[in-house]
Amino acid sequence: MILSDKILVIGPSHIDVIANTTNRYKLCSDKVGKITTSLGGTAYNIANQLAINNYPVILATNDIKCYKDYNKDQIEVVSTINNEVLFTNIPCKVGHVAHCCNNQMVSAISAEYSDMKFSEKHLYQLIERSALIIVDCNSTLKLLSKCLTFSKGTNKPVYISGVSSSKMHVGISAAKKVKLNYDCFLINKHEYDYYVCNRVTDNICNQFRSENVIVTDGKRGSKIYSSNGKYEKLTTPILKLRTTIGCGDTYLAAVAASTVDRACFDVSVLNDYVSRFMRNKI
């Protein structure tokens, strides 16, 4: 891997508030548990997992430099360029609140990012100097459309995280709008079932406007669909993870790292990369 060719991750960061209890979930009840707050968001989580595994990253996001718990040595945070604001939101104004039981998510609510503005000129410059671009469906339709257009214009691969069943349609709509495909679209089984329900699924990649679609299914592994009609099933070795929350972000980080190392999307090495990244997941 050429260290000057950094992986560019684009998307909003926010504050994660997670409430975890060991008691069974019961509506309208107050129970003792543990509440944690941390810097989060899909884009930040992916960038952080790449940094943990020693891949230099550019994170184009809102201003998080006031927070001390991110990897400053490996993550180049870009929120302003030449005193021009790249993204307008700040983490304390947006967030993600999750209720968990025994470290497994029960439900969650995230803030909307409809007012997120960005500089097209600086966005293009960032994409131009990067080896691979990762975006997520927390972003706006306009931002995703521009990222896809600029990336394809500079011949850079674009990977996207579906984030959730209520948000992944934004990424699909952006690709339809500019009539371009992503190189990899990652979703989980729940998101897949939600989207393909009552739709004709003769070609999964056409449905998600991507050359490759990865569907993760927890301990059961993942399925990878390719636009050439090929289908692969990967069974990742079972690891003793404290929680499966954030595993999708770690998985996509691993796929991106393998692509940069191999200079292509190579299914044959994904098990090794995903296993290594999962072991290092924090």
Per-residue pLDDT at 8: 94
Whether residue 117 has pLDDT greater than 50: yes
Q: Is residue 237 situated within a structural domain? A: yes
CATH code for the domain in which residue 184 is found: 3.40.1190.20
CA torsion through residues 40, 52, 235, 135, sign: positive
Q: pLDDT tens digits, residue range 209-265?
A: 999 999 998 778 899 999 987 878 877 655 666 666 678 899 999 999 999 999 999
Highest mean pLDDT among 139-153, 184-198, 242-256: 139-153
Q: Is residue 102 situated within a structural domain? A: yes
Q: Is residue 270 situated within a structural domain? A: yes
Q: Is residue 170 situated within a structural domain? A: yes
Query: 160-185 in b/e burial notation, b at 16+ Cβ within 10 A?
Result: bbbbbbebbebbbebbeeeebbbbbb
d(CA 186, CA 181): 13
- State the average pLDDT for the chain: 81
Q: Is residue 106 situated within a structural domain? A: yes
Longest Cα pair distance anywhere in the chain, in angstroms? 54
Q: Which of 20-34, 198-212, 251-265 has the lowest mean pLDDT?
A: 20-34
Quick one: pLDDT band at residue 102, thresholds 50, 70, 90? confident
Q: Is residue 70 situated within a structural domain? A: yes
Q: Which domain holds residue 70?
A: 6-279
Q: Is residue 1 situated within a structural domain? A: no
User: Are β-strands 184-188 and 231-234 bridged in parallel, bridged antiparallel, or unpaired?
Assistant: unpaired
Per-residue pLDDT at 1: 38
Count, in order, helices (H) and strands (E) of the chain: 8, 15
Number of domains within the chain: 1
CA angle, corner 177, sides to 96 and 45, nearest 5? 25
